[in-house]
A and B are shown apart, each in its own frame.
Chain A
Amino acid sequence: MLGEPPLGTEPIIRLRQVEQRFAGGVTALAGLDLDVRPGEWLSLLGPSGCGKSTALRLIAGLSQPTAGSVERRLPGTNAIGFVFQEPTLMPWATVEANIALPLQILGVPRTEIRARVGGLIERVGLAGFERARPRELSGGMKMRVSIARALVAAPRLLLLDEPFAALDEITRSRLNDDLLALWQAQGFTVVFVTHSVWESVYLSTRIAVFSARPGRVMAEVVVDAPAPRGGDFRESATYLSTCRQVSEKLAEAMR
């Protein structure tokens, strides 16, 4: 079932027979096996409530599984960046200060913080909004701040929990393209939770299809298309056939 990993790429995250049961008696995950390999864009695809977000929290180390093991081969406390479903910004702080938060926690010197935040603001398309407060920004801009904050500490692994679910189609597709460009330029690893087949195929190098609750990986699909992906890829035969393949797997998984 599991695809063979490419040679010489040891997984940075390895989940084995993970079970997550909540106090209320709900079993979110059962028998989950999942590897995350360096440099890949892995999408966790499944119906809502299937435990994708729970799996992401386990990967981040924000919660512990009730059974099974979570191995993490990542250095330091700055190795993981997390983007939540909502922007989750500090409403009292400026865009700059929001992005600088992780570096302040990590104790990075002030001058270095300024340099790194300044450069990043440019790259995520927030130039001119440095001094704005979150409430003065649109939903898409807030999400950009949230992404910049997740990237500012130069993480090896970026975790995204349906980050664009609340955005309109146009904003969403632009943010997807920008995020894809950042991923290609910087070479971090992405785990992306989504319930959109089309989005997952467009963005990912690999897709893990989850079953309905209790969630586990029912199928994996490798998306075999080179970077950079753009509008052409969306109209290509590869894209359409992969979408069909993933949709079928998803339908099977939900049965």
Chain B
Amino acid sequence: MRLRRRLAGFSAMGGPPLAVILLCLAVWEGLVRWRHVPEYILPGPLRIAAALGESWPTLFSSLLFTLAVTGEALLAAVILGAGLAVLLAQSRWIERSFFPLAVVLQVTPIVAVAPLLLIWIHNVRLALVVCAGIVAFFPMVANTTLGLNSADHNLLDLLRLYGASRWQVFRRVRLPSALPYFLGGLRISGGLALIGAVVAELVAGSGGTETGLAYRILESGYNLEIPRMFAALALLSAAGVLLWAALSGLSWLLLHRWHESAVRREG
């Protein structure tokens, strides 16, 4: 009985996705061994794990660098993006005037802008943060603006009835109404900031004095150290998943008491 219950708990927690991942890795390893695929074309998972172990100190410090760039870019995008959204939400006129600029920023591919930024900004690390920040910026602006404008109109009327100030309306109704949208944007921006950081570093070809995972991938490619390349790639994926999980956790923490998106349905 207890075993069965524990198995049930396991499957509810995340057993199935874990099993699928393990199965894929096993098939991968099996194919590589059976077909004798050379490791400079496709190394097996065990070889990659070994490479990860060998280069752990370098790869780990590179991971920290990439995460730091991502984090700083995300922070900047959140502050500037949410700030601009608050400005845009003040009037339709302001929104109509400034929103197209944000769209231009969004649709221009960052790979194309990065070389320019690297010329303008001499500090390479700062240039990376700016690149990643630009990519992460738009979802913050778009989602937060949508959220601020989607407050219940009757609730806004009610506040007007009691003579609420602009600030009171903002703090009591608009801001909390925008929270779910803001958090949705944050999850998207988190992933985009990581992508932006990697793309910018690939364009830069180096991370300045410090080096991120993207450069490690390039470096391993030049040296035909394909297992190490895969190891860096695996770390990048892990970082992305971790970031997403952390932001989802934050979202759940703030919303699970009241918002439909985070409430667990019973029955």
- Among the listed B152, B160, B172, B259, which residue makes an inter-chain contact with A101, where contact means beta carbons less than 8 Å apart? B172
- Among the listed B163, B257, B259, B263, which residue makes an inter-chain contact with A105, where contact means beta carbons less than 8 Å apart? B163
Give A90 to B179 CA distance when docked, in angstroms.
Answer: 13
Interface string of A50-92 (1 = CB under 8 A from B): 0000000000111000000000000001101010101010111
Chain B CB within 8 A of A135 CB: yes
Instruction: Report whether over half of chain B's contact residues are helix, strand or loop; otherwise say mixed.
Output: helix
Q: A86-B154, A88-B154, A101-B172 are in contact. Are A60 and B161 (CB under 8 A)?
A: yes
Give A221 to B164 CA distance when docked, in angstroms.
Answer: 37
Pair A88/B155 contact, Cβ less than 8 Å:
yes
Pair A133/B162 contact, Cβ less than 8 Å:
no
Q: Which residues on the B side are within 8 Å of A106 (C-beta)?
A: 162-163
Q: A90-B176, A105-B172 are in contact. Are A62 and B161 (CB under 8 A)?
A: yes
Q: A90-B155, A92-B258, A135-B258 are in contact. Are A105 and B162 (CB under 8 A)?
A: yes
Classify chain B: how many residues form its interface, as a range. 20 to 34
Q: Which residues on the A side are within 8 Å of B158 (C-beta)?
A: 82, 84, 88, 101-102
Classify chain A: how many residues form its interface, as a range. 20 to 34
Give A185 to B173 CA distance when docked, in angstroms.
Answer: 32
Q: Which residues on the A side are within 8 Å of B159 (C-beta)?
A: 101, 105
* A149-195 contacts to B (CB < 8 Å): 153
Q: A92-B179, A101-B172 are in contact. Are A78 and B162 (CB under 8 A)?
A: yes
Give A106 to B158 CA distance when docked, in angstroms.
Answer: 12
- Among the listed B160, B163, B260, which residue makes an inter-chain contact with A62, where contact means beta carbons less than 8 Å apart? B160
Interface string of B251-267 (1 = CB under 8 A from A): 00000011110010000
Pair A77/B162 contact, Cβ less than 8 Å:
yes
Interface, chain B (partner A; CB < 8 A) = 152, 154-155, 157-164, 168, 172-173, 176, 179, 257-260, 263
Please give me the 4 A-B residue pairs with the lowest Cβ-Cβ distance, nearest first.
A77-B163, A105-B162, A88-B154, A105-B164
10 A/B residue pairs, CB under 8 Å, sorted by A: A84-B154, A92-B259, A102-B158, A102-B162, A104-B168, A105-B164, A105-B172, A106-B162, A135-B263, A153-B162
